Amino acid sequence: MCAVLFALITWQVVAHGPLRALDERVDRAVVGDGPAGLTEFLADLGNMQVALPVLASAVGLALYRRRRVPAAAVVVAMALVPALVVPLKALTDRPGPLTPETGYFPSGHAATAMVAYAGAALLVGRWLTPVAVLLTVATGIGLVLRGYHWPLDVLGSWSLCGVLLAGVVLVSSRGRRRSSAGTPSRRTGPS
């Protein structure tokens, strides 16, 4: 589903479709709303200097817990963020909300936030998922309100990262099944 949504959003952005027109109207109506300090703080949640230490801590904890496969899967997903986003920015060549410069779709900051915070929640404990969602959404709101990205830039990143995170969950669940299949039974006594 996320891949289809990403393809639809990308098509609308590149083809100057009706979703892009709506996107630009919505953006112009909300840019600058909210306290500047707060919206800047929210946008900064997607910076590598903020998000990567959170993810690195979660990866360290996962490795300590001997959850190597999920940790590796999340690290690969994070490495794929710039590997996918940078060429997509060049291909789509979308100008920014407040500048004629191009390279704004999809949002690298929104992608970084989603993979870092959701990946950390997957590694530490799924009970952290609401916090990851809150941080990811807050980042997207900050990016739009500050005028750093159009709403579709953020939604496109989230849908792209949904694919990456689905891959993390798939690889992690296969790793768990393999490790539990190879674990001898600890039962004692007759069967």
For 122-138, the DSSP string reads HHH-GGGHHHHHHHHHH
Whether pTM > 0.85 for this model: the answer is yes
Q: Residue 77 pLDDT > 80, yes or no? A: yes
- Mean pLDDT along residues 49-70: 97
- The upper half-sphere exposure of residue 89, i.e. CA atoms within 13 Å in the direction of its Cβ, equals 21
Confidence tier at 139 by pLDDT (50, 70, 90): very high
Residues 144 and 140: their CA atoms lie apart, in Å, by: 6
For 36-46, how does the pLDDT look when each residue is reduced to its tens digit (9 = 90+)? 999 999 999 99
